[in-house]
Structure 1
Amino acid sequence: MPDTEYGYALKQARKRYQDALAKGEYPYLPVLDNILADTDIVSTVSLGIMDIPLAKLVGTKTAERSSSFASNFMPLLPERSEFGSKWAALYKYQVHEGIQDPIVAYEFMNQFYVQEGNKRVSVMKYLGAYSIPGNVTRLIPKRTDDKENRLYYEFLDFYRVSLNCDVWFSKEGSYQKLLEQMGMEPDQVWTEEERLFFRSSYGRFAKAYSMAHGEQLQLTEGDAFLVYMEIYGYDSVKGQTEREMYRALMRIWEEIQLANRGRKVELIETPQEMETDHRPSLWKWFLPAEDMPEHLKIGFIYADTVENSSWNYGHELGRLYLEQAFEGRVSTTVIEGADTEEDIAAAIEKLVDCGCTMIFTTNSKMVNQSVRSAIGHPEVKIYNCSINMSYSSICTYYARMYEAKFLMGAIAAAVSREDKLGYIADQPTYGILADINAFAMGARMINPYVKVYLEWRRVRQARTATERLREKGVRYISGKDMIIPRYPSREYGLYVLEKNGEVTNLASPIWNWGKFYEQMIQLAFESNEELEARKGKKAVNYWWGMSADVIDVICSGNLPHGTLRLIEFLKNSVRSGSFHPFDGLIYAQDGSVKCREGEKLRSEDIVTMNWLAENVEGSVPELEELNDEARERMQLQGIRVDETAQTEKK
């Protein structure tokens, strides 16, 4: 048994060496000069003296000392050697005085390689230190299409404002998400205080993640930290101790595991997909047979009041329908105006305290608190109304509104004798671009020359979206789906701006949330065993459409008889599945092919659609163009236009 610190370090080195050989891996430190042999370096930048995270120190600059260390930087040479004596002396100096001299290192692809100070790094790694001072030179490779290269250039943009090299992600776009979670702008230079707070918080999380054996997962610390921040929020993270972070991390470990598996969302597209003969009834899921309740209590949470929001008004109609459909068996409770994380948390707790065993949070901004509350109350089923949100502790639900928008486009083109149609959207969140493109597809099916002029409602503009369309000579417009009770207006659904200034309504898409909730309650629920087995493995989104009667289109009786027949035929075809709005050859604005002849877009491609159809006139607004409400929603569910994807041109 080793009886000196060097002996213990040597034991760690030999173990790592043998493990590497057994796996067929290189057992010594990587050599940067060898790595750069086939790499085109376009720029060399001096970063000066900085604290280098020891986890990022992975090798040596030259091959001279690489074989003296195992790949974990622990020493391999005998203890009774000059090398061993110097290592032991450095160890004692660090323990009693503290090593102050900076090492000399090179940074390449956000990893560091030592030129001078290998033994100092070895000692500090052995002692479990977080960082070491170093004089660093950055080597920047030529930009390529390689994923690691693209990630590195995203890191460079992040480093430019943060001066932080601790964080590394495995997925593109993650640095932008991190800044959004922190409430920072992409080009906002961090203050010294902001840098210190972040580095301290991230350092504590890194230790908590190590305590949880996160190194056994494929996620980087940064990947896991982003999931952690999404759920708990940066303000909470900043105030947590390492031990508190570890306990909180353990509570959401299923979500970390889900992220490790890719955070894919399973889309349940019909209620029938969830129906099986072997699953227990709803009542058996909640309580044993002898304790079966006479009433099921269900809670609803709205971000605003019913009077001020057409979205909440639609869900309120669904809640009232539910009480009628299950009269005497279901009672509901609603809480309005839960607009902040604190309000949402308090609302869920109130509903749990009053006996609700099923809770619907009806806004995507409530998803993170829904996850936290679901973890704290595993006996309660919590659903969040959102799409493409990947959590296994809750289920999410949404409707395929693009099916109705396709019909609306067909109606608009059929009744208009003009080649200009208008579409007003709120902000470019998931699902919205599919709605826009479906409208454009439906219109073009009737009129191949039609153009759809796109305007955004929640942008920083003095004039309204309707006014901007009117100036372009557009009269037939698809606006918001429902009226706002407190501010009634006829500018909803599909309407036409008459020459005398009046508005005539032609058709309206319907979110039938009552049917949605009715069928969700009628479904046989998963047993506790099945629910536990799903955690960490899959996220589920109930994504229903016309086939489930949760989406519909109501037409004005003044429409021509032929148009009504056509729309009824298309509606039945979509409902039966014999017709698909995104079917056949489809081009985007840039001429790229998005769907080929004889094919149809996958559901996942529709949910995450980030392009506009070729007959759409307009663009996706930049983040700075949006108002505060839209920017908040974009942080959670904003689509990002893929400008680098390789596409086939016409």
Structure 2
Amino acid sequence: MAVEDYKKAQKLGQRNFRACVSKGQYPYLQVLDDILENTELDGTQPLGVVNIPLDSIVGTKTEGRKTAFARNFMPLLGERTEFALKWSALCDSQMEEGIRDPIEAVEFLNRFYVVEGNKRVSVMKYFGAASIPGTVTRYIPKRNGSKEVNIYYEFLDFYKLTQINLLWFTEEGRFAKFVAAVGKAPGERWSDDDKSMLTSMYYRFRSVFMQRGGDRLPITPADGLLAVMGVYPYRQLCGMSMQELQQAVERAWSEVLVLTRPDAVELSMEPAFPPQNTGLFSRLHSPIAFQAPSLKVGFVYEKSADTSPWTYAHDFGRGELEEHFDGRVTTLCYDNVQPEVNGDEVLEKAVADGCDVIFTTTPKLINASLKASLAHPEVKIINCSLNMSHPSIRTYYGRIHEAKFLLGAIAGALADDNKIGYVATYPTYGMIAAINAFALGAQMTNPRAQVYLEWTSEKGVDIPARFAENGVALISDLDNRAPQQPPWKFGLYRLEGDHICNYAMPFWNWGEFYVRIVQSIMNGGWSAGSSGERALNYWWGMDAGVIDVLCSRGLPVETQRLVNLLRQAVCSRDFDPFAGVLYAQGGRVVMPADHSRLTAEQVITMDWLANNVIGRIPRFDELIDEAKPLVSLIGVHKDETTTKIL
């Protein structure tokens, strides 16, 4: 019987050998000694006996037996050789009582190379086993700045806490994201139950992943698992039956496939469709006006318009949407939603209420939005966030840095003492660009201007006291205020004792956003807007009318003229705040003179501060608890979620 098994295994090896040759790949086992010839080691570490995932065993330590096996560890030697007899004997042993003696192996970059026990590995792989016990010595490479080595050191941090060697990611930062998604605190050791739960769920997921063709993708099962965990929480996945897990992976497969695209995020920088005239004359004289589709649009808010300036601005835009379409669009409002508590329930209610389109107005609702979109693909769900790589939904946000540049130019012109305060909220995507654009605008009109940066999300900071200590009276504060609140500090203003002199404020014209997007849906432009294989982010600016600056009557006429000129330049795209040579704090050049301007991706993910900014970006562990969920989702330092508690 074992002889027949050897013949089958030999055929598998020969098939793999031919496939490798046809693809130009090395057809035998990898040899670690060859790899190490050009590698500096930082040391070795004995790990004792560990369970080695058979998928991670890729070769041998020395050249001794490399040509006896194909690349997949299946045998190549003839069936009458001594090698074949020994392999068959091990096959009998495995079927009768199981192979229990540990192999000896070396681990390097979380891949394993056999020192002794190649045939045992081959037999176990033939039978489809998940792991094999082995006495392992770890070879640790020196840090060299390469992506692979950087990922390996992230793995070492993960292994110290978990002793789990199943996972490997293809991009930096994903170990940290995975730990955060599991719900573990940084530095928290995993219990035996934690390890057992992950191991069980991982192998079940891996099976589904491979069945769907994951082995043909340039990502690992761990990459795929992390993508699916962006839709279904870890604990929920752990509790799923095999059938439920298959259904979940099938629904979220587009989220997995997007990881295979180098251009995963497609940015829409300007609206494809201008808003159409919906006045009375237009409706009476357009033969197709009465045939235009009617839509029910839902708006989901974390807070209420009475308590949150952010929600008020979106709700004002909701009203403009209804007014613009005059009966063709009806809206429903769902406020005071707790994203982690009842977000899923509220989205399901919006769908049940017949909403054709749903706008979720906070990044914290991204997971609930994804679930609802996968469960109800007929509903168009759009989340207010930036730089998300989810093809199942779309996102929208404004290029607020354009308005902040104008505000900075105003501030520089008004800063007689060269001191300007800047109040920022959370260190998230787009926020750093807004700070730097403001600082560059101030520097343009006042080369000696210095911007004193403070954060509302930093623990234990008295911002007014800090500004007073530094003699800062001209301040760029929060963008706007809720209507029920009394006049207070917002926009750009000067403190003159107890008196506040307001100069200008950025304006988020969410109504224009909503009108444009809904119009494109009515015009049939939704399907044409994306390939369906990439995430589509609407990132519109002043030229689309969705971002602007409102100036008060107290602003000097000459400064108002400057604002108008700069607005025209930005809107015509003749001017870019981030064009030319750019210097970060300390004089570091981040954009040399031979480059024209930053890319959109560089602007969105900016994590440095301009050289005229006095202050810093707070670490994750310095943030207030309220800020951490959002920063862990779209923070510029979100990869710190496990290393520094993004």
Same-fold call, TM cutoff 0.5: yes
2:492 to 480, 491, 494: 494
- 1:571 maps to which residue? 567
In structure 2, the CA distance between the partners of 1:539 and 1:510, relative to structure 1 (3 Å rule), is same
- Is residue 2:70 matched to residue 1:70? yes
SS in 1 for 2:230: helix
CA distance in 2, matches of 1:552, 1:530: 29
Q: CA deviation at 1:526?
A: 7.8
Tell me the CA shift for residue 630 of structure 1.
1.4
What CA distance in whole angstroms lies between the structure 2 residues aligned with 1:399 and 1:523? 18
Instruction: Quote the RMSD (CA, aligned, Å).
Output: 2.4
How far 1:532 moved relative to its partner?
11
Residue 304 of structure 2 corresponds to which residue in structure 1?
A: 305
Contact 1:309 1:485 in 2 (8 A): no
The partner residue of 2:547 within 548, 551, 554 is 551
Residue 581 (structure 2) pairs with residue 581 (structure 1): no
Residue 306 of structure 1 deviates from its aligned partner by 1.9
How is 1:454-533 mapped onto 2 (pairs within 5 angstroms)?
454-461=453-460, 463-485=461-483, 487-498=485-496, 500-523=497-520, 530=527
Seen in structure 2, the aligned counterparts of structure 1 residues 66 and 294 have a Cα distance that, compared at 3 Å, is closer
Give the whole-Å Cα distance in 2 for the aligned partners of 1:213 and 1:236: 23
Whole-Å separation in 1 of the counterparts to 2:91 and 2:487: 76
CA distance in 1, matches of 2:236, 2:265: 27
2:539 is the alignment partner of 1:540:
no
Q: Does 1:364 align with 2:363?
A: yes
Matches of 1:460 and 1:454, distance apart in 2: 15
Shift of 1:2: 10
Shift of 1:378: 1.6
Distance in structure 2 (CA, Å) of the matches to 1:532 and 1:133: 52
Preserved contact between residue 399 and residue 551 of structure 1 (Cα < 8 Å) = yes
Q: What CA deviation, in whole Å up to 9, does each residue of 1:308-367 have, x standing for no partner?
A: 221111101100111111122111001012223452222222122222111101111111
Structure 1, residues 286-323: CA drift from partner, whole Å, max 9, x if none? xxx9x978631110001122222211111011001111
Query: Displacement of 1:603 after TM fit?
Result: 1.9
How far did residue 221 of structure 1 move?
A: 1.5
- Secondary structure in 1 aligned to 2:626? helix
Q: Write the distance in 2 (CA, Å) between the matches of 1:546 and 1:275.
A: 14
Secondary structure in structure 2 of the residue aligned to 1:349: helix
Q: Gaps spanning 5+ residues in structure 2: where?
A: 277-287, 641-646
CA distance in 2, matches of 1:412, 1:318: 28
The reply to whether residue 634 of structure 1 matches residue 643 of structure 2 is no
Q: AA paired with 2:602? A: D
CA deviation string 1:147-185 (max 9, x = no partner): 212221222122222222111111111111112212223
Residues 468-493 of structure 1 show CA distances to partners (whole Å, capped at 9, x for unaligned) of: 22222211111111113455451111
Check conservation: 2:294, 2:328, Cα contact below 8 A. yes
- Report whether the alignment pairs 1:617 with 2:603: no
Report the AA paired with residue 513 of structure 1: W
Paired with 2:618 and 2:477, the residues of 1 have a C-alpha distance of: 18
* Post-superposition offset of 1:43: 0.4
Distance in 2, matches of 1:233 and 1:400, equals: 31
Asked if structure 1 preserves the Cα contact closer than 8 Å seen for 2:520 and 2:526, the reply is no
* Pairs aligned (count): 627
Aligned to 2:280: none
**Partners of 1:382 and 1:394 within 8 A in 2:** yes
Which deviations, in whole Å up to 9, do the C-alpha atoms of 1:532-580 show, x marking residues without a partner?
Answer: 98222x2111111111111111112111111111112212221222222
Residue 271 of structure 1 aligns to a residue whose secondary structure is: coil
Matches within 5 A, 1:316-327: 316-327=315-326
Summarize the Cα distance change of 1:301–1:62 in structure 2 as closer, same or farther, 3 Å threshold.
same
Give distance in 1, aligned partners of 2:556 and 2:291: 54
Please give the alpha-carbon distance, in whole angstroms, between the structure 1 residues aligned to 2:298 and 2:108.
53
Displacement of 1:3: 7.7
Which AA in structure 1 matches 2:597?
K
Q: How does 1:337-352 map to 2 (within 5 A)?
A: 337-341=336-340, 343-352=342-351
SS in 2 for 1:523: helix
Distance 1:242 1:641, change over 3 A: closer
What does the per-residue CA deviation read over 1:98-130, in whole Å, with 9 as the maximum and x for residues that have no partner?
222111110011100111111111111111111
Secondary structure in 2 aligned to 1:107? strand
1:161-310 equivalent positions in 2, closer than 5 A: 161-262=161-262, 264-272=264-272, 295-310=294-309
Deviation at 1:425, TM superposition (A): 1.0
Q: Can you list the C-alpha shifts for 1:411-444, whole angstroms capped at 9, x where unaligned?
A: 1121221111111111111000000001101100
Contact 1:490 1:504 in 2 (8 A): no
| Counterpart residue identity of residue 410, structure 1 | A
Contact 1:16 1:27 in 2 (8 A): yes
Question: CA 1:532–1:521 in structure 2 vs 1: closer, same or farther (change >3 Å)?
Answer: closer
Aligned pairs for 1:75-154 within 5 A: 75-154=75-154
**CA–CA separation in structure 2 for the residues paired with 1:295 and 1:276:** 16
Cα contact 2:502–2:554 (8 A) shared by 1: no
One-letter identity of the residue aligned with 1:442: G
Q: Distance in 1 between matches of 2:250 and 2:373?
A: 14
Structure 1 residues 469 and 642, CA gap change in structure 2 (3 angstroms): farther
Aligned residue in 2 for 1:397: 396
User: Relative to structure 1, is the Cα distance of residues 415 and 189 closer, same or farther in structure 2, using a 3 angstrom cutoff?
Assistant: same
2:284 is aligned to none
**Paired residue for 1:646?**
none
Counterpart of 2:189, as a letter, is V
Partner letter of residue 428 of structure 2? T
Is the alpha carbon distance of 1:571 and 1:642 closer, same or farther for their aligned partners in structure 2, counting shifts above 3 Å?
farther
**Shift in Å at residue 83 of structure 1?**
2.1
2:557 is aligned to 561
Residues 445 and 502 (structure 1 numbering): CA distance in 2 closer, same or farther, change over 3 Å?
same
Distance 1:451 1:533, change over 3 A: closer
Say if 1:181 and 1:635, in contact at 8 Å, map to a contact too: no
Mark the runs of 5 or more structure 1 residues left unpaired by the alignment.
278-288, 644-650
Structure 1 residues 532 and 425, CA, compared in 2 at 3 Å: closer, same or farther? closer
